[in-house]
Amino acid sequence: SSRNLSEEFAEAARQLKKEAPRIQFGKIDVTHQPDLRKEFNIQAFPTVKFFVNGSREAPIDCKGVRKASTFITWVKRRTGPSTVLINSTDQAEAIIKADDLAVIGFFRELHNDSVEVFCETARDVPEMPFGMTASESVWASYGIQRNSLVVFKEGKPVHNEVLEDGRQNKLGLTRLIKTFTLDLVTEYNMETSVKIFDVPVENHILLFTPTNSETFSEIYENYRSAAAEFRGKILFVLVDTNEARNGRIFEYFRIRDIDVPAVRILNLTSDAKYKMPADEVTVENLKEFCQSYLKGTAKQHLSSEEIPEDWDKMPVKVLVGKNFNSIIF
């Protein structure tokens, strides 16, 4: 909520006042400042912007940051180095074990495009520590052969992304790394909904199924298996259709009890919805559906009511999705 964020923001300001007095924190109620709201194009609340070197041109958006500690990390990485330089395996282990998640960049040399992209990514992912190393002994300790970004979860490597020089996309890396703050498949509920929307992946796939059905464990395993391949590209979400509080989502996707288990893909930017053509929730069908969506060959799913029998009896015709195009165009 806005209030919680306001408190965390104030806590970050208090702590940074001692550590970095150059950084000033301010709060604006834009309901009383419509000109400022317009100038900085404030659409949602709360919005946090960071102004650099006294310029009001092009401030940096601070998105998805909700805790004081993360605010502090975000600001520090914007005003100083965003990653720790690692020279020994002990140092690497200390970083990896200090937190639930950690990211280490392994580079042959510390001056190339990939390093720059890695450091920029670190600025946008303040939720976890970032380190980088060019030390041969550290490379050898983790069995690394090529320039790589490795994500560690609970002290163990869970993802290795090979970094080809200059070909890396910062947004792609940011998306990929942020997905590790969620499980491979995230069950939708009141707590997780905020986290799901904080991860900047615009493609979501949703499995609608009762979690107490006899076939659930098999379906869930298939869904999880498919999820690993699309990490960072499509976010896998599970919606329990027995949970009454999820009713609004069923309505939004027009899912009925007889439809489940059902699989849909939603593009958050365009709001376009896609229905998995196959009925069986198998790994093969899920992968085929996700691949066709990413390639742009999946058919958009436009839910429509049935055409009423008397739709053309009156001077004003009744249109629904299924007869709209044929009648109008």
pLDDT in tens, 82-122: 999 999 999 999 999 999 999 999 999 998 899 999 999 99
260 and 221 part of one domain: yes
159 and 231 part of one domain: no
Place of tokens 């702590």: 15
User: Which residues, 6 or more positions from 39, have their beta carbon under 8 angstroms from its beta carbon?
Assistant: 56
Place of tokens 């996309």: 169
Distance between CA 151 and CA 102 in Å, rounded? 6
* Range(s) of the domain holding residue 263: 182-295
pLDDT at 329: 53
Distance between CA 250 and CA 260 in Å, rounded? 10
What three-state secondary structure class fits 104?
Answer: strand
Give the residue among 299, 181, 168 at the shortest CA–CA distance from 235. 181
Cis omega (within 30 of 0) for bond into 261: yes
- Count helices and strands in the chain by DSSP H and E runs: 12, 12
Residue 33's φ and ψ, nearest 5 degrees, are -130, 65
pLDDT at 306: 66
pLDDT at 182: 93
Distance between CA 212 and CA 215 in Å, rounded? 8
Place of tokens 């510390």: 110
131 and 146 part of one domain: yes
In the predicted model, residues of the chain with pLDDT beneath 50 are none
59 and 99 part of one domain: no
pLDDT at 322: 62
Produce one character per residue of 54-88: b if its CB has 16 or more CB atoms within 10 Å, e if not. eeeeeeeebebbbbbebbbbbbbbbeeebbbebee
pLDDT at 320: 65
Residue 285 gets which letter from DSSP?
H
195 and 290 part of one domain: yes
Q: How far is CA 73 from CA 102, 118, 196, 231, in A?
A: 14, 16, 21, 25
Distance between CA 277 and CA 207 in Å, rounded? 14
Q: Which of 79, 101, 130 is the last residue of a domain?
A: 79
CATH code for position 36: 3.40.30.10
Instruction: Provide the mean pLDDT of the chain.
Output: 90
69 and 146 part of one domain: no
Place of tokens 């450091």: 119
- The model's pLDDT over 153-198, given as tens digits with 9 standing for 90+, comes to 999 999 999 998 666 788 899 999 999 999 999 999 988 988 898 8
Residue 244 CA from chain centroid, whole number = 26
Q: Which of 155, 179, 203 is the last residue of a domain?
A: 179
Dihedral of alpha carbons 44, 46, 51, 54, sign? positive
pLDDT at 323: 64
Domain count, the chain: 4
Distance between CA 267 and CA 255 in Å, rounded? 17
Distance between CA 227 and CA 235 in Å, rounded? 8
Q: What contacts 24+ positions apart, CB below 8 Å, involve 317-320?
A: none
Distance between CA 73 and CA 76 in Å, rounded? 5
139 and 169 part of one domain: yes
276 and 247 part of one domain: yes
pLDDT at 109: 93
169 and 248 part of one domain: no
141 and 199 part of one domain: no
271 and 291 part of one domain: yes
Q: Which of 162, 179, 196 is the last residue of a domain?
A: 179
70 and 109 part of one domain: no
